[in-house]
Amino acid sequence: MNSMIQTCADTLIENIGKMAESGTGQEVKRSFSAYTMDVIAATGFGIMVDSQKDPNNPLVEKAKDIFRISIFNPAIFLSLLLPSTTKLIEKSGLSRTVIGNQIYFRKFCRQLIQQRKETGINENMHKNLLNLMIKAQLKGHEKLDPEEEKELHLENITDWRTKRGITDDEILAQCVIIFLAGYETTASTLTFFTHSMATNPEKQQKLYEEIVEVLGDDLPDYDNVQKLPYLDMCMDETLRMYPIGTALDRQCNKACTIKGVQIPEKLTIRVAVDALHYDPKYYPEPDKFIPERFSEEAKSKQVPFTYLPFGAGPRMCLGMRLAKLEFKVAAVQMIRNFKIFATEKTENPLILDETFLLVAKNGVWVKFERR
């Protein structure tokens, strides 16, 4: 799996190299979106869509359409506040866009599933999530190879196989979720990270020195990126300042009273992640990019559940480890090969826009220079 991510990262670095050669400021989100689409297609489904070399790839365009929808559209906003009103979407002008894109992804994923079943799965094929789900379906209740689960980052998911075996419709649903959840989230995090590096050159230099000292000329992989503590701090601080999902919903499964407030069963509780992350009680000077607040010493004093970029508990983000690896491989290669500078078009602070996920309203503009 790491080799597939590295191949995608190599193409990303080639594209950034072209940006550097231009000598001008560039908007970076599109490049990162294409990179993450290629990674999720390769690791999730064992296919190469080459969206980095084909910027008009329909997969990327359809995915972008979905995430362009603003949560402040009246129908979307009301459905988020009151889940029982989600049928309003069907009556709004959004239905054509939402349903049309859903149909496209379902058709694409259904064809992939059918094709993989027809061609068969052999042990020489690259391991990917789609093959694993099909094997689980064919094997029924048999346990899969633990090493295979570990490589695909599934070993920490409790009872991820259903007791009755996974159905075609469930495989299809998981495929669509993997495509959409694994695409925009990491692309946005890389975009915000790049902005943070451009606007904090001393932090960028410190990270560069760590990468050179620890990795030398070695390519980043799952094992050696764990030896880069400052990279972890920069990633964590990026996710604190720019949590891609700004809210978490949980349903109360048993009526209870907390500090005098009665919470009935089945009530949906919304946690404002961005409010927690910017509370000066937990994070002094919250508007400043300070990776050191996530050092091991600082984290040992952190109040539990005040940092929630991936959620928490049994329903936290299952793709967290894959997303972090995807991020780190790209970040290491980018920082090792290029200096990143702010330009006259670089907003600081960024003007943010909440569609389904947090994005920079006017994009992130930076200038690259080869080291």
Binding site feature residues for heme: 317
| Cα three-residue angle 234-331-3, rounded to 5 degrees | 135
Give how far Cα 191 sits from Cα of 29, 58, 152, 223, 242, Å: 6, 22, 25, 24, 10
CA 272 – CA 80 distance, rounded (Å): 13
CA 309 – CA 189 distance, rounded (Å): 11
Element at 331 (helix H, strand E): helix 320-337
Among 29, 45, 27, 36, residue whose Cα is nearest residue 9: 36
CA 269 – CA 250 distance, rounded (Å): 5
Q: Which residues are annotated as a binding site?
A: 317
| Cα three-residue angle 64-65-69, rounded to 5 degrees | 110
Is the preceding peptide bond at 304 cis, omega within 30 degrees of 0?
A: no
Q: Residue 167: helix, strand or coil by DSSP?
A: coil
Residue pointed to by tokens 């200096």 = 339
